[in-house]
Amino acid sequence: MRDADNRGVPERILIVDDHPLTRDALAALLAQQGFEVVGEAADGEEALAAARTLEPDLVLLDLTMPGMDGLTALPRLREVAPAAEVVVLTASDAEENLLAAIRGGAAGYLLKTEPPERIVEFLRGAAEGEAALSGSIARRLVEQVRGGRDTEGWVPDSIARALSARELEVLLLLDDHLSTDQIAARLFISEHTVRSHVKSLLRKLGVSSRRQALEALAAARN
């Protein structure tokens, strides 16, 4: 993600997909829309090597690839390129892949059925720290976090678009009255990381406390 001193500089993006035609199409689309495509990779190993040397701002990552797949590569990409946001772009809408990707550090999860203009929109948002979630994926995330209850339409777009996927998870668990340590245990992250996510989501929602965040969520539902 670019800082304030680099506003206006094109986001540097690394495309990871095992299909050359898909990579070419994405590269052409993103270059046309003002992104700087700094590299391409056909599997996880190539992606790690490229991320180390190219230092991208964004990584657009497929899941199903020969050799090292996307889910295996994802946490390692977060280690070798910690400043980069990783957005999954996949044909798989399987719930287990969704949760594994988000827990691996993905900033978003998009389906390849999204129109090109929506992919561009999502990536621009992800570069600014916003959620990058296909509509159907956002609903599945909510259902998983809230224990499978019927949550169709439960998270308003105004909230879902403001937060990253991980921040959305944390907010929903706060709404379930879980404490910091309980959220950390549920998401397999540290309590410090939970507090960091809470601080970030409060800032994005324009509120100063967890109670106000939940009030904002309730108001947005109405």
Residue 29 lies in a domain: yes
Segments forming the whole domain that contains residue 187: 150-221
Instruction: Mark whether 155 and 67 lie in a shared domain.
Output: no
- Kindly report the CATH number assigned to the domain that includes residue 203: 1.10.10.10
Looking at residue 95, its pLDDT comes to 74
In the structure, what pLDDT confidence band is assigned to residue 130 with cuts at 50, 70 and 90? low
Instruction: Mark whether 173 and 79 lie in a shared domain.
Output: no
Residue 145 lies in a domain: no
- Kindly report the CATH number assigned to the domain that includes residue 95: 3.40.50.2300
Q: Is the dihedral of CA 156, 88, 94, 189 positive or negative?
A: negative
Range ranked top by mean pLDDT from 6-15, 22-31, 146-155, 213-222:
22-31
**Spatial separation of the C-alpha atoms in residues 116 and 89, rounded to whole Å:** 12
Range ranked top by mean pLDDT from 60-74, 102-116, 136-150, 166-180:
60-74
Of 128, 104, 123, the C-alpha closest to 44 is 104
- Residues 58 and 11 sit within 8 Å (Cβ to Cβ): yes
